[in-house]
């Protein structure tokens, strides 16, 4: 199982210990007993997958560089897992770093052949990526379903300390103010399109 499932812990930079970025990424494949040539190929491939230039950073110390999450994900990807588990992958990142990590995750999944499981308390991150949600509370499954199904349950999510994405919160507030919107909107793009549609509706003319 350890060869099929890759796990990236929260604050992965705390797990770095090798002298160079290349050695850090090669750690997993090396422990799988792969040959030097295969390891080298996998390291370069994994760097490319997460947007790292191997020729630029390969021989540098991992502690000199920003983007610890990407380096650690590269190390996991070098093992070519079937399942990638990410624990709070955007924790502690500035907005630019957060966008970079989310785009990387989206790209990895889009290539196919990789199941991504992301653990997060950030509902906006989840809304931008997930196709299925499992909501946990006190060690039990409290709710499961598509994002659209789950984010309609604002009261339940709030009661267990999670809440909903900002777009879903805005939707519910607008509905309370009398806007004719579907209750299951959860992205800003959806909210914008429905609000624009409302402005295009023919208005009644009072005599």
pLDDT of residue 173: 92
CA distances (Å), origin 44, targets 6, 21, 25? 18, 11, 9
Per the structure block, which two tokens stand in for 201? 């509706």
pLDDT of residue 113: 80
pTM recorded for the entire structure:
0.79
Give the three-state DSSP class for 47: helix
Q: Which has the minimum average pLDDT: 48-52, 64-68, 73-77, 95-99?
A: 64-68
Q: H or E stretch including 206?
A: none
Q: Please write the tens of the pLDDT for every residue from 30-40.
A: 888 899 999 99
Q: Residue 46 gets which letter from DSSP?
A: H
Q: Please write the tens of the pLDDT for every residue from 150-194.
A: 998 888 999 999 989 999 999 999 999 999 999 899 999 999 999
- Kindly tell me if the per-residue pLDDT of 18 is higher than 90: no
Phi, psi for 159 (deg, rounded to 5) = -65, -25
Give residue 62's pLDDT band: very low, low, confident or very high (50, 70, 90). Answer: confident
Query: What average pLDDT does the chain have?
Result: 86
Per the structure block, which two tokens stand in for 153? 């349950």
pLDDT of residue 204: 55
Encode 127-159 in three state secondary structure.
Answer: HHHCCCEEEEECCEEEEEECHHHHHCCHHHHHH
Per the structure block, which two tokens stand in for 191? 């909210």
pLDDT of residue 124: 92
> For 60-74, b where at least 16 C-beta lie within 10 A, e where not — what string?
eebeebebbbbbbbb
């Amino acid at each position: 199982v350890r060869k099929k499932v890759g796990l990236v812990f929260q604050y992965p930079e705390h797990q770095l210990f090798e002298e160079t970025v290349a050695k850090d990424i090669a750690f997993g494949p090396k422990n799988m007993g792969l040959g030097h040539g295969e390891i080298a190929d996998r390291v370069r491939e994994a760097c490319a997958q997460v947007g790292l230039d191997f020729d630029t950073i390969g021989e540098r110390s991992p502690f000199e560089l920003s983007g610890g999450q990407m380096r650690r994900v590269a190390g996991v990807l070098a093992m070519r897992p079937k399942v990638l588990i990410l624990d709070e992958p955007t924790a502690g990142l500035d907005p630019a770093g957060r966008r970079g990590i989310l785009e990387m995750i989206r790209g990895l999944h889009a290539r196919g052949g990789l199941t991504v499981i992301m653990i997060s308390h950030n509902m906006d991150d989840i809304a931008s990526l997930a196709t299925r949600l499992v909501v946990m509370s006190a060690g039990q499954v409290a709710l499961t379903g598509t994002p659209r199904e789950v984010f309609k349950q604002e009261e339940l999510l709030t009661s267990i300390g999670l809440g909903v994405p900002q777009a879903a919160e805005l939707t519910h507030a607008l509905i309370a103010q009398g806007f004719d919107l579907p209750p299951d909107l959860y992205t800003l793009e959806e909210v914008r399109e429905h609000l624009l549609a409302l402005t295009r509706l023919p208005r009644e003319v009072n005599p």
